Structure 1
Amino acid sequence: MHQFAIGQRWLSDTETELGLGVLIDVDERSISILFPKSDETRVYARNTAPLSRIVFNINDEVHDQEGNAWLVESLDDVRGVIRYNVVRTNENGEKIQKALNETRIGAQIQLSKPLERILASQIDYKEWYDLRIEALQMQANMQSSPLRGLIGSRVGLIPHQLYIAHEVGKRFAPRVLLADEVGLGKTIEAGLIIHQQLKTGRAERILVLVPDSLQYQWMIEMRRRFNLKFSIFDLTRTASIKEHDPELNPFLTEQCIIASVDLMIDHDDLREQAVEAGFDVLVVDEAHHLMWSEEEGANDRYDLVEELAESIPGVLLLTATPEQLGVESHFARLRLLDPQRFSSLEVFLDEEQQYQHTAKIAEVLMSDAALQDEHLATIEQLLGHAIQDEPEQRYRAIHELLDRHGTGRILFRNTREAIQGFPGRDCQPVALVAPEQWSMDGKLREQMWPEEAQLDGTWMEYDPRVTWLMEALRKDLKHKKVLLIARSGPVVEALENALRLHAGIRTAMFHEGMSLLERDQAAAYFAEDSYGAQILLCSEIGSEGRNFQFASDLILFDLPANPDVLEQRIGRLDRIGQENRIQIHVPYLIGTAQERMFRWYNEALNIFGNISPTAQTLQENFIVELKDCLLADLGQQFEDLLEAVSVQREALETELQEGRDRLLEYNSCRPVVADKIVTALEDYDDNSHLPMFMKRFMASTNIDFDEQSNGTVIIKPTDQMQVQGLDIDEEGMTVTFYRDQALIREDAQYLTLEHPFTESVVEMIQTQSFGSTNVALLKTNALKPGTILLEVWFKVDVVAPKALNLPESLPKQLIRVLLSENGQDLSLKIDPEIIKPYLHHLDGNSGRQVVKARREVIEQRYAQSLEIARGSLPEMKQQAKTFFAKKWQYEIDRLTYLKQFNPSIRQDEIQGLEKLQKEGLELLDGLAVTPEAIRVIVVVKP
């Protein structure tokens, strides 16, 4: 083959963006190359031209000048110019063959394979090459990690939440009732499950149904804690979609949707379209509003969820009061999850009696008390085998009872008493004299919250609560962080203005009129220790989705009409992680509806002192009498009402306490398993290489990042960025790599391997040619100077649904082959980490000269490395199939065995596992290797 011939195709080593050029002129000293893509001609010195000859090989895809794709079958050299014999299939399935001279090849070229790129002298920086290998290794570790789906959430490492997420999130089409008490994090548990289902591919489409008032809270919680972008579907949005395309199902326009229950109930067409849309998981919050009885049937909400649950495989129901509205409604919610298992209320009640007997035995096993003969006999009867009174056998017996009996697989309920760690709360009432201007009659709203009708703020001139607030912040609360919650944004703005301008108090606001960024910034300012805000003033939205456990003083500037809303307010501080007793300051005006509402909450419902699981039900039962008493001072009638409701509340609470299912509570958080998950996540947090990786990546690609003294990093895109396609905010973003910082600074995004920005970096590295080639110097006396080594990294690939996670079963997902110049395999002898410190950057021009001079050796060693990598596949395939089969068979056998004793295990769940096991084993036969990176190493003396 001639060195240069008119018609040959060449690529510029230094200006690859010019595309594929054609040699149009050559003489003794120079050559001329036309680049049709850019319509430019370059003249180069013949002996030093920075050009690489482009020759396609058999089975390569080439494009002609019309853009048609062809497959190379063979090639001939005709006086230095290549003629390719190519083939393609047209739209009719007909096979077309022809000869294609290289002069007719299109100018657009994208060399993606590492060998193609390095032979074309497209050589990347050493740092990029190292980053590519690290990214591949991190992704391989993540795919095989049991923490997959858990590490990317901005949540504290709270054992019971992580246990439920781990237990439920790994299931296919989970159908469970999350019934933790208020303040224990049901929304977080649901978010963790959703996040895990999405990240592992077990689900792709999620529908969340909530009351109107909770839509925004859910959207913010999913985005802020889990980086999940949910869209709120209301009547305006669905109408807009229909107006644009009447035939389009609105629920097919987004993958993750939040909608109100009332929207579906009021619009049958939307309800039908939601059923037809084919969601993978349905989430229903406030599920205690789904009511059913054998005599009266179901309410509208229940009918809606039942219809959706029949077509959606996964269902999560959330309620803090699973049995509060009666055992029939509790049974009915379980029936939504598994209608075959819970088909008869009578049978369910009988089983409940048996489970209570089992729970009593389990409680003995969990105690330190010695097992008596009758206990051992009962255990043998329940389990089918005897046990000895030894710690290990008692522990195993407890878990057998948990697996076999009750609703443990579908019902999770943690209680504050079981979890512990809550310091408690105290009520600090502040009785103030009502001013003359205060309304003592009229509508209840006017009596309770007259300030909301005076948008000009004149109410502040006479309201004694304002004066009290200023004095309290100056004196008793001077050195404390204080959270204030009021009903509306205008009230909050007026108070903040007065405190900041007239009292000189550092303040922050949080209300519905602010953007998400502004709210995050306000929360971060409040969280700062030294120079942060002393008080954060929130509208009612402040009681939704934000937790401020670092503060312990709460001011309720007014009282809501709903006890659940009041509990949500208190719950911003009274949560896991709170180290101090909560001080609840309640200013009210003597002799007004405010005082009577305070007494109702305090004396009748006891809601300030403790979580009251019966409060909402009691208020609904006595709402008529309560409104009469609030509207006017009825004297003894109100006193009698307070006494009667208090007695009834105590009786209900006693009944609930006696009916606690401690076996169920234990199953909702098995301590040994939960502690292992927490420890594993702590180890991940402590040993993550991600911060250093991301900083190196940004530094090497001209992404601007500025490390702050508070542990955060400000990241901004630049015009000089050398990579494209990253999920990075155009305005920049504040991030932190550390969980403790992320929990405090809600304005900072928590950067993990599962964050969208990090995922986009890894995806870009994998799908693009970033760092796939390199030429480096190895300074050593152990090898002969001037010789070269070839290092090739291969990824073990298997095409399969994401949900199967077949890479987890592979003994290794990356294969590194290191060959000497004469073909000696040094892969096991020279570890990449050992030689890393001795490898040095080689400038681009020198690297290109090395490749051109040793092209033949590089091609030979590459072919040898490919054979070595492919040769390891049969053994890897067998190991992977053995691991995959055993893993899935263990779960299939366990569930099949337990189904004999516990009918809550669904047959379709077992059949689904068997189907997936068979599919995975078949797909593992298609194991292949893909070259990911290639490096030429030149040995030189130190």
Structure 2
Amino acid sequence: MSDFTPGQRWISDGEANLGLGTILFCDARTVRVYFAASEETRTYSTRQAPLTRVVFGSGDQVESADGETLRVEDIKEDANGLVTYICARQDGTLTELPESCLNDRMAFHQARDKLLTGQVDRNDAFNLRYRSLNHHARLQRHPGYGFSGPKVDLIPHQTGIALDVANRHRPRVLLADEVGLGKTIEAGLILHRMMVTGRVGRTLILVPESLTHQWLVELLRRFGLEARLLDEKQSQQYPDENPFDTAQLVLASAQWLFANPRRQQQAEACQWDMLIVDEAHHLNEEDADSGYPFVSTLTAQIPSVLLLTATPEQLGAERHFALLQLLDPERYHDLETFKQEEERHAPLANIMDGLVALHEQRTPLSAEREAQLLAFIADDEDAQQAWQALRADGDEDAQQLAFARLRSALLDRHGLGRVMFHHSRRDIAGFPERRLHTQRLEAPLPYQRVVRRLQRNEDYLDTLMIEHELAYPDLLLYPEDTYMALTTEDADPWWKIDPRVQAIIDWVEEHPGEQALVICHSSATVRSLAEGLRVIAGLHVPVFHEHMSLIERDRAAAAFVDGESNCPLLICAEVGAEGRNFQNCHHLIMFDVPTHPDQLEQRIGRLDRIGQQHPIDIHLLTLEGTPMEAVARWYAEGVMSFGEPTGLGSELYDAFNESLDAALLDADELDAVIADTRDALEERRQKRQAGRYRLLAHRTAGQPQAMADLITELDDQEKLSRYLEQASEVFGFDIKDLGGELYHIAPTGQLLDGLPGLVKGEEGFSATFSRSVALERDDVERLSWEHPLVQELLSRAIDSPHGNTSLALLKHPAIPAGRLMTEVMFVTQTPAPKALHAGRFLPPTPIRVLLDQGGQVLTKNVSFGGLAKHLQRVKRAMARDIIKQCLPQLREMLDKAEGEADRELPALVKAAHQGMCDTLDQELARLKALAARTPGIRQDEIDALQQERDQLEVAINDSRLRLDAVRVIVTVDPNS
């Protein structure tokens, strides 16, 4: 049986910041401990629990739950092992204090006790601990913390949204960017930031079945987040427990969950902090099978919700309203009221256009627009002052400030940016030009015969579908598949007769030194095409498709991306290309056309990305007179897909796909369908520009570049590489420079167990500090302060007792031998729930105190780094002897150091309190002012922020100091 008893007080050896814990439960295998100060519960194995029993002795100072300081005179222990202290108050009277009544926020001098018993660690471990404390405090305060680690481009509109949403208390928003603008990246940034800062713990992500693995890979590859992909097979492995309780981050297929009432009940029974739903436009309040009722139940009980969708208004006002209702049912309670509010968007968008013209070109507003503006801001004194300042002839900075204030007031007041975010490529710079090069090739006779027979005999289509089990419309669009299904086994493979194969070979010969991504509709075509290029032209090119393992895909992508490989082509399948970044090249060869406009945009999006340095050259290979050519014309002339993304492809497909199918073999009908599609496209474009989307474009124009610049600050390679070099010596791994900004991190024989990515006897991993290199190489990890390995190193260096005591010798000609010095590190403690993210105002901050044996404070005169480079190690046996001889002096010096550190604490607390008030009081005032004028602000959001502010005030004011580490320094003769 264990030595743990419910009610006993213990502390965590590895997480001293949790405070004083209470044993809740214990059996032969596990012990559960509740840390009230931080509202955390931990469960440990009884055999290896990293816990230390707290029992004070006579003369020790303790603190009661009500904050009274007492001196222990004696202790009593009952039959269950629970302790009661006999304590003296300051007036000398005695009182009994059960251990259950000890203050949960008491600090413990573990380093002091360890040192005075002669236990010391390596000098480099002490140095690393101090540097880790400083880096950790810097990161916690930094506004970019949580955004720097993800392996993504720093694009202002994405980082701006992420900052806005992640800093809200219980955010509930609709991310509705156009296709290819990064909704998934925005959601990942928000999730990562909120998880790193402790605002979110358990998250459920629902995505379409076809995107589950893409999300799984993206979360891990880009954000370092390990999700549990849950399906029916996985769920059945937990017959006696709720499968949704088996991980902090759960990813599941929406289709699977929507069709399974039992699993829905299990998901609803869990406590979630955040819900993310991708492709939310598929939810339909009038169709129970769409999952709307289930998602509605979840959104009612989960505080933070992100809905990701294509442009929602293509679904109509009713469906758009239904999505917004999931996020805020109080704000969006009546459809007719919502429609009336929508009518005001066009006039407001006109006003915003006029204000931009006034600000940028000093073009005055028309009388009509000025009257409309004054009506909008009639009850907003701040907005009126901003308007007067904007129209006056002030200096440039004053004009800029006035414009920003007025724009923010108008957009905030009407709530467009609080619930819904939408970006369009028209409003974001940095996208390349698209250039279409269509190559019409003569179809081989076997292909022509099939087309002619289909034109003459309508029943032949049914024959192909039924007798040969060919899918429609694939049998029309992909003639190589139909050819292979109709020929005998000894017939030539399709790549021997298809002119598209020779066209690719010709392209390679005509573009020496250049690269192209070739995309085909299926993995079978990918493999056959690669074989044809090898046999006909001797081209050995990598392939990339969904039937390859993740490692195989990474290697193929790396072979193509690597500039030294001289690989001219990568042949990619439709599914295999999803989500990948191949913008190292700017040539896209379309071997065929997909069946849906969104798939076409997905193809082009592999190259057409913000930051692409060249125009995108799209080489479209079509076969004359075939249905493939008909669909290509519809994309090019009707949907205008090869020009720039319209965001309307899916809507146009839904409206015209049946007409298009009927016209694939009739040129006259095809011309009519193309004309009708183009007219519908223009009509929908004009409708979209009428109001809401123009207002959202103005919100986009206000996205700050400053956030991306702040994140770049945390990308400082020099600081991080220096820290990793120091940590490698303590933790036992090696960093080898491979050149080209690439490094290899591998374990050594002294590796400490459990470091992410490092296992004894294995190879380790390749990494880079460069964001751009990491984005080009999916097989290379990006090292940042938020990388799992770095986070683990920081955590171990700070939370474990390793390195919290040391003894070193100082040889310096200016300092006489035989002197005793102590370097004492104190750390501020602000016990508070993780969700408050108290560290942004007062993280665990180190206070260093350097004393000599005479009590002189040397901290300001001798820097940590300057001292550390002159120190030399000493054997542990000698260190113990020195400490034993100096115990009285060390006790006095530690008491003196504590007094010095206590004098510095009030200034830190005052600054943190002021920073908290400046930040949260301003946001509270803003939200309250907005709530008085617009229904777009939820009262529960204001209440939650007020509660957060009040809790932080108590926590910051209750901050204490903890003695974290002590180094004893003995000066010796430099000539010895």
TM tier relative to shorter chain: 0.7 to 0.9
2:179 is matched with which residue: 163, 177, 182? 182
AA partner of residue 156 (structure 1): D
In structure 2, the residue matched to 1:857 is 889
Evaluate the alpha carbon distance shift between residue 507 and residue 90 of structure 1 in structure 2; reply closer, same or farther with a 3 A threshold.
farther
Asked if the contact 1:164/1:669 (under 8 Å) is kept, the reply is: no
- The amino acid across from 2:122 in the alignment is Y
Shift of 1:925: 4.5
**Structure 1 counterpart of 2:753:** 724
Q: Distance in 2 between matches of 1:658 and 1:916?
A: 40
- Cross-structure match for 2:4: none
Task: Flag the 1:917–1:410 CA change in 2: closer, same or farther, 3 A.
Answer: same
Given candidates 520, 524, 530, the residue that maps to 1:496 is 530
Distance 1:811 1:207 in 2: 29
Q: Which of 315, 335, 352 matches 2:305? A: 315
Contact 2:416–2:695 (8 Å) recurs in 1: no
Describe the shift of the 1:687–1:756 C-alpha distance in structure 2 as closer, same or farther (beyond 3 A). closer
Deviation at 1:685, TM superposition (A): 2.1
How far 1:95 moved relative to its partner? 5.6
The reply to whether residue 346 of structure 1 matches residue 355 of structure 2 is: no
- Shifted more, 311-320 versus 383-392: the winner is 383-392
Deviation at 1:778, TM superposition (A): 3.1
2:802 pairs with 1:793: no
Q: How does 1:71-470 map to 2 (within 5 A)?
A: 71-74=55-58, 88=77, 91=80, 113-241=110-238, 244-245=239-240, 248-292=241-285, 300-367=290-357, 368-372=361-365, 374=367, 375-383=369-377, 384=380, 385-386=384-385, 387-388=388-389, 389-390=391-392, 391=399, 392-438=401-447, 439-440=450-451, 441=454, 442-443=464-465, 444=472, 445-452=474-481, 454=484, 458-470=493-505
Residue of 923, 927, 936 corresponding to 1:895: 927
8 Å CA contact 1:173–1:313 kept in 2: the answer is yes
Aligned to 1:806: 838
| TM-aligned CA deviation for residue 909 of structure 1 | 0.3
Q: CA deviation at 1:604?
A: 2.2
Aligned to 1:472: 507
Q: Gapped runs of 5+ residues in structure 2?
A: 1-46, 61-72, 87-107, 393-398, 455-463, 466-471
The question of whether the paired residues in 1 share the 8 Å contact of 2:520 and 2:590 is answered with yes
* Corresponding residue pairs, total: 844
Instruction: Name the amino acid aligned to 1:788.
Output: L
**1:715 correspondence with 2:745:** yes
Tell me by how many angstroms 1:802 deviates.
Answer: 1.3
- Cα offset for 1:917? 1.9
Shift of 1:550: 2.2
Indicate if the aligned counterparts of 2:811 and 2:870 stay in contact, CA closer than 8 A.
Answer: yes
Tell me the distance in 2 between the aligned counterparts of 1:535 and 1:217. Answer: 23
Indicate conservation of the 8 Å contact 1:363/1:663, yes or no.
Answer: no
Report the Cα distance in structure 1 between the residues aligned to 2:908 and 2:402, rounded to whole angstroms: 39
* 1:520 counterpart residue number: 554
- Alpha carbons of 1:222 and 1:470: their partners in 2 closer, same or farther (altered >3 Å)? same
Q: What per-residue deviation string (whole Å, max 9, x for no partner) do you get for residues 478-509 of structure 1?
A: 32121111222232223234434653435222
The Cα of 1:735 is off from its aligned counterpart by 1.3
**1:694 paired to 2:724:** yes
Letter in 1 for 2:352: A
Q: CA deviation at 1:641?
A: 2.0
Q: Corresponding residue for 1:12?
A: none
Q: Which residue of 2 aligns with 1:29?
A: none
Q: Check 1:699–1:96 CA distance in 2 against 1; reply closer, same or farther (3 A cut).
A: closer
Q: Tell me, in whole angstroms, the C-alpha distance in 1 between the residues paired with 2:127 and 2:374.
A: 60
Distance in 2 (alpha carbons) for counterparts of 1:487 and 1:231: 30
> TM-score, with normalisation over the residues of structure 1?
0.84
The question of whether the paired residues in 1 share the 8 Å contact of 2:520 and 2:591 is answered with: yes
Tell me which residue corresponds to 2:855. Answer: 823
Structure-2 change in CA distance of 1:263 and 1:812 (3 Å): closer
Give the SS at the match of 1:622.
helix
Within-5 A mapping of 1:577-656: 577-630=611-664, 633-656=665-688
SS at match of 2:55: strand
Q: Say if 1:483 and 1:553, in contact at 8 Å, map to a contact too.
A: yes
Distance in 1 (alpha carbons) for counterparts of 2:964 and 2:85:
32
> CA offsets, 1:809-840, max 9 Å, x none?
23971111111112222233333244344434
In 2, the alpha carbon distance for the partners of 1:745 and 1:811 equals 35
> In structure 2, do the counterparts of structure 1 residues 695 and 534 end up closer, same or farther at CA, with 3 Å as the change threshold?
farther
Code of the residue aligned with 2:243 in structure 1: it is P
In structure 2, how many angstroms separate the alpha carbons of the residues matched to 1:695 and 1:532? 34
**1:121, distance to aligned residue in structure 2 (A):** 4.1
Q: Percent identity?
A: 35
Q: Does the CA contact (< 8 Å) of 2:851 and 2:897 recur in 1? A: yes
Q: Tell whether 2:715 aligns with 1:681.
A: no
| Consecutive unaligned residues in structure 1, runs of 5 or more | 1-62, 77-83, 98-110
Check whether the contact 1:484–1:557 (CA below 8 A) recurs between aligned residues: yes
Following the alignment from structure 2 to structure 1, what is the Cα–Cα distance between the partners of residues 330 and 435?
47
Assess if the C-alpha contact under 8 Å between 1:500 and 1:506 holds in 2. yes
1:560 aligned residue:
594
User: Residues 419 and 841 of structure 1: is their aligned pair in 2 closer, same or farther, counting only changes over 3 Å?
Assistant: same
Note the C-alpha offset of 1:313.
1.3
* TM-score normalised by structure 2 residue count: 0.82
Task: Give the CA deviation at 1:239.
Answer: 3.0
Match of 1:6 in 2: none
1:418 maps to a residue whose letter is D
Alpha carbons of structure 1 residues 834 and 596: separation in structure 2 relative to 1, 3 Å: same
Q: Partner amino acid for 2:128?
A: L
State the SS of the aligned residue for 2:882: helix
The DSSP-based 3-state class of the residue aligned with 1:790 is strand
How far does residue 575 in structure 1 lie from its aligned partner after superposition? Answer: 1.4
SS at match of 2:363: coil
Measured in 1, the distance between the counterparts of 2:148 and 2:54 equals: 45
Deviation at residue 659 of structure 1 after TM alignment: 4.3
The separation in 1 between residues aligned to 2:910 and 2:630, in whole angstroms, is 74
* C-alpha contact (below 8 Å) 2:422/2:693 kept by paired residues: no
- Find the residue that maps to 1:237 and give its secondary structure: helix
| Stretch of structure 1 that moved more, 367-376 or 425-434 | 367-376
In the other structure, the counterpart of 1:531 is 565
Corresponding residue for 1:17?
A: none
Asked if the contact 1:140–1:813 (Cα under 8 Å) also holds between the matched residues in 2, the reply is yes
Q: Which amino acid aligns with 2:832?
A: A
Cα distance in 1 for partners of 2:287, 2:523 equals 41
2:694 matched to which residue of 1?
662
Report SS of the residue matched to 2:715: helix
Range moving further from structure 2, 404-413 or 432-441: 432-441
Secondary structure at 1:770's aligned position in 2? coil
Q: Distance in 2 between matches of 1:581 and 1:189?
A: 26
Between stretches 872-881 and 484-493, larger displacement belongs to 872-881
For residue 774 of structure 2, what is the amino acid of its counterpart? Answer: A
When residues 931 and 506 of structure 1 are mapped into structure 2, their CA distance, relative to the original with a 3 A threshold, is farther
2:768 is aligned with what amino acid?
Answer: T
Give the superposition deviation at 1:263: 1.2
Q: Partner residue of 1:50?
A: none
The DSSP-based 3-state class of the residue aligned with 2:237 is helix
